[in-house]
């Protein structure tokens, strides 16, 4: 396959690029800065510069590939207010709609990235693909797009596959910035009591799920992609500090962090997503090589320490 990957320099996107290349596929990587992307991704992918807010910079690329993987997410450093979250959702919508249109026009597959916040808080109950999308604040954009893409599949024959990963860990992303780096600086705290569930997936396992979805998923299908063992946020936090050889940390009232980080982010991180990933295993034959965060968090911590 020849695959266009948006957000190719991102935490998820770069892992997808590496997996596709390792499996012998061709990659066209949509990036914002080709020089930086070349240093990050190496010589193999064809680099295309584009801006997700400007469809004219990328929609034409769809014709030249067999399929598209969309992982780009607008960069918005700083406090994530409700207004700024809407900018994030709008950017995702601009890009996903333009890619979907082009995919309909040229008969290409679109693999869309949703997320673990799209179902909202379900306490101790299990979530799966049949659970209605009643999103947490940061899941609103993906949940809206999920409905639009499903409608495009029904009404215009869009070949779309939606993947909704759990919390993605590995050497980068939120795992690095919100856990490991905060712990190194003595600033990590558990958000509230941490009784809410988080389902996780290692970034390399997630990348394999994209390749499986490109190759084997039915048009119009949707998959939660999570490892075998959800954890309560308190335990997940303890596993990170244990792996780093640091003392366990106290907790911080979410209300305090809302002032610092923004309500939508904190209200999403404190929701409970205990997700079952049976369907991706049954339909696509996907199994995580790292089935439990507790057994593999040390590897990611060590990889980050090597990079530092």
Q: Which residues bind ligand NAP (CB under 6 A)?
A: 7-13, 32-33, 51-53, 71-75, 113, 115-116, 165, 167-168, 173-174
Cα–Cα–Cα angle for 117, 246, 226, rounded to 5 degrees: 25
CB of 50 to ligand NAP, least distance (A): 6
Q: Which is nearer to ligand NAP, 118 or 235 (CB)?
A: 118
Shortest CB 151 distance to ligand NAP, Å: 20
Residues 6+ apart with CB under 8 A from 2: 25, 26, 27, 28, 64, 65, 66, 67
Distance in Å, CB of 257 to ligand NAP, minimum: 18
CB closer to ligand NAP, 147 vs 247? 147
Question: Whose CA is closest to 17, among 5, 1, 33?
Answer: 5
Interhelix angle 203-216/11-22, nearest 10 degrees = 60
Q: Cβ closer to ligand NAP: 54 or 259?
A: 54
Other Cβ atoms closer than 10 A to 138:
23
Q: What is the nearest approach in angstroms of ligand NAP to the Cβ of residue 164?
A: 7
Distance in angstroms (rounded) separating the CA atoms of residues 178 and 176: 6
3-state secondary structure at position 125? coil
Choose between 95 and 244: whose C-beta lies nearer to ligand NAP.
95
Handedness of CA 234, 235, 236, 238 (dihedral sign): positive
8 Å CB contact between 56 and 102: no
Least spacing, CB of residue 281 vs ligand NAP, in Å: 18
Distances in whole angstroms, Cα of residue 237 to Cα of each of 172, 240, 248: 16, 5, 8
* Closest residue by beta carbon to ligand NAP: 10
What minimum distance in Å lies between the beta carbon of 73 and ligand NAP? Answer: 4
Nearer to ligand NAP, 12 or 140 (CB): 12
- Of 91 and 103, which CB lies nearer to ligand NAP in the complex structure? 91
Q: Among residues 152 and 176, whose Cβ is nearest to ligand NAP?
A: 176
CB atoms within 10 A of CB 238: 17
Shortest CB 203 distance to ligand NAP, Å: 8
Please answer whether residues 291 and 227 qualify as being in contact, where contact means their C-beta atoms are separated by less than 8 angstroms.
Answer: yes
Residue with tokens 């759990």: 166
């Amino acid at each position: 396959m020849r695959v266009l990957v948006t957000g190719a320099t991102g935490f998820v996107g770069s892992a997808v690029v590496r997996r596709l290349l390792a499996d012998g596929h061709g990659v066209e990587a949509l990036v914002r800065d080709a020089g930086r992307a070349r240093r990050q991704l190496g010589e193999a992918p064809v680099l295309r510069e584009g801006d997700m807010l400007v469809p004219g910079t990328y929609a034409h690329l769809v014709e030249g590939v067999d399929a598209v993987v969309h992982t780009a997410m607008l960069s918005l450093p700083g406090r994530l207010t409700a207004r700024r979250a809407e900018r994030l959702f709008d950017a995702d919508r601009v890009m996903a709609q333009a890619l979907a249109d082009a995919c309909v026009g040229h008969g290409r597959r679109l693999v869309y990235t949703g997320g673990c916040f799209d179902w909202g808080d379900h306490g101790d109950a299990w979530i799966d693909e049949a659970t209605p999308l009643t999103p947490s604040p940061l899941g609103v954009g993906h949940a809206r797009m999920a409905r639009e893409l499903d409608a495009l599949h029904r009404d215009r024959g869009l070949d779309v596959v939606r993947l909704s990963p759990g919390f993605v860990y590995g050497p980068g992303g939120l795992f690095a910035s919100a856990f490991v780096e905060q712990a190194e600086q003595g600033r990590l705290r558990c958000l509230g009591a941490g009784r809410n569930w988080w389902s996780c997936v290692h970034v390399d396992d997630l990348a394999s799920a994209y390749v499986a979805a490109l190759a084997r998923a039915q048009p119009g299908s949707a998959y939660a992609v999570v490892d075998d063992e959800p954890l309560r946020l308190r335990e997940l936090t303890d596993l990170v500090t244990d792996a780093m050889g640091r003392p366990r940390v106290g907790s911080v009232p979410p209300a305090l962090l809302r002032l610092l980080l923004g309500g939508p982010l904190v209200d999403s991180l404190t929701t409970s997503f205990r997700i079952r990933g049976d369907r991706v295993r049954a339909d696509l034959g996907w199994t995580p090589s790292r089935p439990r965060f507790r057994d593999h968090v040390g590897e990611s911590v060590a990889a980050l320490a090597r990079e530092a």
